Amino acid sequence: MTTERIHIIIVAAGTGARFRHSQPDSSFVALPKQYEMIGQQSVLAHSIQAFDAVATDAAEFVGITVVLHPADRHWQDLPPVASPHPIQTTPGGSQRHDSVRNGIRAIQLQHPNWAQDWVLVHDAARPCVTAAEINDLVATCLAQGQGGLLVKPVIDTIKHSCDGHTVDHTVDRRHLYAALTPQLFNGADLLKALTVFEADSITDESSALEAQGKAPLMVVGKNTNIKITQYDDLLLAQHILTTQGRL
């Protein structure tokens, strides 16, 4: 049985403008959200360590590439992050797709024979993802030889508004799913998709593959796989991580 190789990219290149604007005290200077502390560790460290317990006989996790903002000055001040996987860093770009592409190219430099390998992309701002979710995604994609992503069904009533003030109509949510991370794709396919596309239409890795005519698999994730966007999300993430036994 062939063991597939998976490279992990954690995107931590954002500056967190929405997060800073949501902080409760205007005199408080918020860090980029990936460097805020939850317990004794940063959000980014928790996101890296979410992969500690991920294991499958069908795949080898080769290493983790953390994509940082080009002007990042916080990573070097973090205590070393303990991980069973080798960790390297690389500068990101001006937009998400630039950052992921830079991450893939950093992997290429380290692993010249990477062409058949898989790349798993995760947001640094999602520290509460579980090993079970990641394992489910990996098992599903490898079994079918097709890339995919974690999702969750949309359960809220969704309103459409052109002006942001009044409702135009209610959207049928029966076929709507919110995209989560990680997202897992063949590395060469993903690099191609992130190189040839309409930039404004690409909001995640899946949408880049969709633009190439692919139909990514969907694996239902957990509601606890939240993305830290507002300052108050830190408290929710702390509660979730405590419940998971990770604090």
CATH code, domain carrying 152: 3.90.550.10
Rounded CA-CA distance 14/19 in Å is: 10
Rounded CA-CA distance 224/132 in Å is: 12
Please choose, from the candidates 61, 100, 124, the residue with its C-alpha nearest in 3D space to the C-alpha of residue 190: 100
Residue 227: its pLDDT value, please?
Answer: 97
- Cα distance between the two ends of the chain: 37
pLDDT in tens, the chain (247 residues): 578 999 999 999 986 665 555 566 655 556 899 999 999 999 999 999 999 988 777 789 999 999 999 999 999 999 889 899 999 999 999 899 999 999 999 999 999 899 899 999 999 999 999 999 999 999 999 999 999 999 999 999 999 999 999 999 999 999 999 999 999 999 999 999 999 876 667 889 999 999 999 999 999 999 999 999 998 999 999 999 999 999 9
How many Å is the maximal CA-CA distance in the chain?
58
Neighbouring C-beta atoms of residue 33, cutoff 10 Å: 26
Residue 18: its pLDDT value, please?
Answer: 58
Residue 165: its pLDDT value, please?
Answer: 96
Range of the domain at 70: 4-243
pTM for the model? 0.93
Number of domains in the chain: 1
Residue 115: its pLDDT value, please?
Answer: 85
| DSSP category for residue 221 | -
